[in-house]
Amino acid sequence: MPELPEVETSCRGIEPFCAGVEIAQIVVRQPKLRWPVAPNLPAQLAGQVVQSVGRRGKYLLLQVESGALMIHLGMSGSLRVVDDTVLVGKHDHVDIILRNGKIIRYNDPRRFGSVTFNQQGANHPLLKKLGVEPLEEEFNGDYLINCCRSRKVAIKSLIMNSQLVVGVGNIYAQESLFRSGIHPVRAANKIAKKRIETLVVHIKQVLKEAIKAGGSSLKDFTASDGKPGYFQHTFQVYGRSGEPCILCGKPLKQAQIGQRTTVYCGSCQR
């Protein structure tokens, strides 16, 4: 379920249960994820204390002394905090069993996510090529303008390119472009600097709002329903193809950009 706000919410949700707590055992029921779960992963983590819980892009990082457990939620993954009285369900692929009796349970129907162990810090192959964090100051107008230079891909594809900036997924790419009045298919190098600066502001704004909404709607991370808060959130364009634009009232259009459905307003976005 992850766009970045959801990963951030998961991060904050599990943190109180596992920070400072020893991992008793890891149980892998289905190792065939996006990357196969290494057979020795449980042995590498058993007995180690979770020092902190963090995030890099959409990777959750549970830091231990010898490295970090990296969890990616893919398209359909989610985490819950349970105890051993909760029955194991379909697609509950991995349990991180903690010494305090809690279990971090990883569920992922489509198995596009991953659970890997990282001994190499930021040099891990999956992290090494990631771009800047969208909510950090290093993601700013100058940075994005520079990215757009000499690239003629659709601006939507560009902001979803995780080698440039991480964490902007299909939903928030659409929302931030709408707020910025930029047509999603417009060539990146054909957009005025001022408008790119506006886009940066809106990307940050849209992500922050979603994190806030996620945090407030998901007050109990042990809730049985792992549905993210942001699906109760209303979107201005995502999923609204054919419905009226909230600004001009004309029906919203839909297109495929980089094989992803994209909804936009043909008259408000140029």
Contacts to DNA by CB under 7 A = 1-3, 6, 32, 34, 57-58, 72, 74-76, 90-91, 109-112, 126, 129, 150-154, 157-158, 162-163, 166, 169-171, 188, 228, 230-231, 258-261
* Catalytic status, residue 102: no
Catalytic residue flag (residue 125) = no
Cβ-Cβ contacts under 8 Å for 214 (sequence gap 6 or more): 5, 6, 8, 9, 228, 229, 230
195-201 long-range Cβ contacts below 8 angstroms, 24+ apart:
196/141, 196/144, 196/145, 196/148, 197/141, 197/144, 197/145, 199/144, 199/155, 199/159, 200/139, 200/140, 200/141, 200/143, 200/144
* Residue tagged active-site, from 55, 58, 80, 253: 58
Compare residues 263 and 265 and give the one whose CB is closer to DNA. 263
Nearer to DNA (CB atom), residue 99 or residue 260 = 260
Say how many C-beta atoms besides its own lie within 10 A of residue 35's C-beta: 14
Residue 228 annotated as catalytic: no
- Shortest CB 153 distance to DNA, Å: 4
Among 3, 6, 8, 175, the active-site one is 3
Please confirm, yes or no, whether 3 is among the known catalytic residues. yes
Q: Give whichever of 58 and 179 is closer to DNA, judged by the CB atom.
A: 58
- Residue with smaller CB distance to DNA, 244 or 258: 258
Phi–psi pair at 49, nearest 5 degrees? -90, 135
Provide, rounded to whole angstroms, the least separation between the CB of residue 261 and DNA.
Answer: 3
DSSP state of 154: B
For the bound state, the minimum distance from the C-beta of residue 38 to DNA, rounded and expressed in Å, comes to 15
3-state secondary structure of 37: coil
Active site residues: 2-3, 58, 260
